[in-house]
Amino acid sequence: MTLIHYIMLGLGGILAYLIGSIPSAVWIGRSFYGIDVREKGSKNGGATNTIRVLGLLPGLFVLCIDAFKGWWAVYLANFFGRFYTDIWGMVSGSEYLTYYKLALGVIAVVGHALPIYVGFKGGKGVATMLGVIIGIFDRLLPLIIAIFIITFVFSKFISLASILSSVAFPILYVTCAHWLSYEVYIPLIVFTCLVAIFIPYTHRKNIKRLIKGEEPKFKFKKTIDD
Asked if 22 and 98 sit in the same domain, the reply is yes
In the prediction, which pLDDT does 85 show? 53
pLDDT at 223 over 60: no
pLDDT category of residue 220 using cuts at 50, 70 and 90: low
Could you tell me if residue 183 is inside a domain?
A: yes
Asked if 84 and 143 sit in the same domain, the reply is no
Q: How far is CA 61 from the centre of its chain?
A: 15
pLDDT category of residue 1 using cuts at 50, 70 and 90: low
Asked if 114 and 201 sit in the same domain, the reply is no
Could you tell me if residue 226 is inside a domain?
A: no
pLDDT at 214 over 70: yes
In the prediction, which pLDDT does 170 show? 95
Q: Give the integer Cα–Cα distance in Å for 152 and 217.
A: 10
pLDDT above 90 coverage of the chain, percent: 55
Asked if 107 and 147 sit in the same domain, the reply is no
Q: Give the integer Cα–Cα distance in Å for 39 and 24.
A: 15
Neighbours of 59 (CB within 10 A): 23
Query: What distances in angstroms separate CA 106 from CA 29, 103, 112, 170, one per listed residue?
Result: 26, 5, 10, 16
| Residue at a domain's end among 101, 132, 163 | 132
In the prediction, which pLDDT does 87 show? 43
Could you read off the pLDDT of 38-89 as tens digits, one per residue? 999 878 898 989 988 999 899 999 999 999 999 999 999 888 876 665 544 4
pLDDT category of residue 226 using cuts at 50, 70 and 90: very low
Asked if 4 and 109 sit in the same domain, the reply is yes
In the prediction, which pLDDT does 187 show? 86
The average confidence (pLDDT) of the chain is 87
**Domain membership of residue 161 as a residue range:** 137-218
Could you read off the pLDDT of 102-159 as tens digits, one per residue? 999 999 999 999 999 999 998 888 899 889 999 999 889 899 999 999 999 999 898 8
How many structural domains comprise the chain? 2
Nearest to 65 by CA among 38, 46, 41, 49: 46
Q: Burial, 88: exposed, middle or buried (Cβ in 10 Å; 0-12, 13-18, 19+)?
A: exposed
Nearest to 205 by CA among 58, 43, 2: 43
pLDDT category of residue 3 using cuts at 50, 70 and 90: confident
In the prediction, which pLDDT does 81 show? 73
32 and 126 in contact (C-beta within 8 Å)? Answer: no
| Residue at a domain's end among 132, 157, 184 | 132
In the prediction, which pLDDT does 65 show? 97
Asked if 108 and 141 sit in the same domain, the reply is no
15 and 76 in contact (C-beta within 8 Å)? Answer: yes
Could you tell me if residue 146 is inside a domain?
A: yes
In the prediction, which pLDDT does 192 show? 93
Residues 6+ away with beta carbon under 8 Å from 221: 55
